[in-house]
């Protein structure tokens, strides 16, 4: 377990807090972990239903069962498909700084601060 002693406090509107809470819950994360991952450029995935994991396990077992019965090319394509499913649906996606900035800008219009004109 990592030693997390440093704190960052963040003030948000109630509406933003509710949205963060909802998004964190949909990903199966605490609000702190959700904000930490987003801040570090990751886009956590929503929690998939149990039926997905049942299907994924069945697919992995099928790969094991047919390993000796198909051509190496077919086996490689099957394994690549399983890897792609894992990458697309299970692993967090890394966002660019520009993507994060654009997403945050949609949360709430800036009410104060310097204008673009100077």
* Between residues 85 and 113, the one the model is more confident about: 85
What residue segments make up the domains of the chain, in order of their start?
12-45+93-107, 48-91
- Assess contact for 68 and 118: CB atoms under 8 A: no
What is the rounded average pLDDT of the residues 96-116?
Answer: 65
- The pLDDT of residue 82 is 81
* Separation between Cα atoms, residue 44 and residue 68, nearest integer Å: 36
3: three-class secondary structure by DSSP: coil
Q: Tell me the two tokens of residue 95.
A: 């966002």
With bands split at pLDDT 50, 70 and 90, how would you rate the model's confidence at 14?
very high
Q: What tens digit of pLDDT does each residue of 21-78 get?
A: 999 998 889 999 899 988 888 888 887 777 777 888 888 888 888 878 888 888 888 8
- Assess contact for 55 and 63: CB atoms under 8 A: no
Q: What tens digit of pLDDT does each residue of 1-11 get?
A: 578 788 888 89
* Separation between Cα atoms, residue 29 and residue 21, nearest integer Å: 9
* Between residues 103 and 11, the one the model is more confident about: 11
The kind and range of the H/E element at 42 are strand 42-43
Which residues fall within 8 angstroms of residue 29, CB to CB, at 6 or more apart? 37, 44
Instruction: Say whether pLDDT at 18 is over 90.
Output: yes
């Amino acid at each position: 377990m990592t030693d997390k002693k440093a704190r960052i406090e963040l003030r948000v509107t109630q509406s933003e807090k509710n949205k963060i809470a909802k998004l964190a819950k949909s990903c199966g994360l605490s609000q702190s972990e959700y904000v930490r991952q987003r801040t570090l450029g990751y886009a956590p995935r929503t929690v998939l239903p149990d039926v997905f994991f049942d299907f994924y396990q069945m697919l992995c077992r099928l790969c094991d069962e047919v390993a000796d019965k198909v051509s190496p090319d077919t086996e490689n394509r099957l394994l690549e498909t399983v890897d792609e499913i894992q990458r697309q649906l299970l692993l967090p996606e890394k966002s660019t700084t520009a993507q994060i900035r654009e997403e945050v800008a949609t949360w709430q219009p800036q009410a104060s601060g310097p204008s673009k004109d100077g």
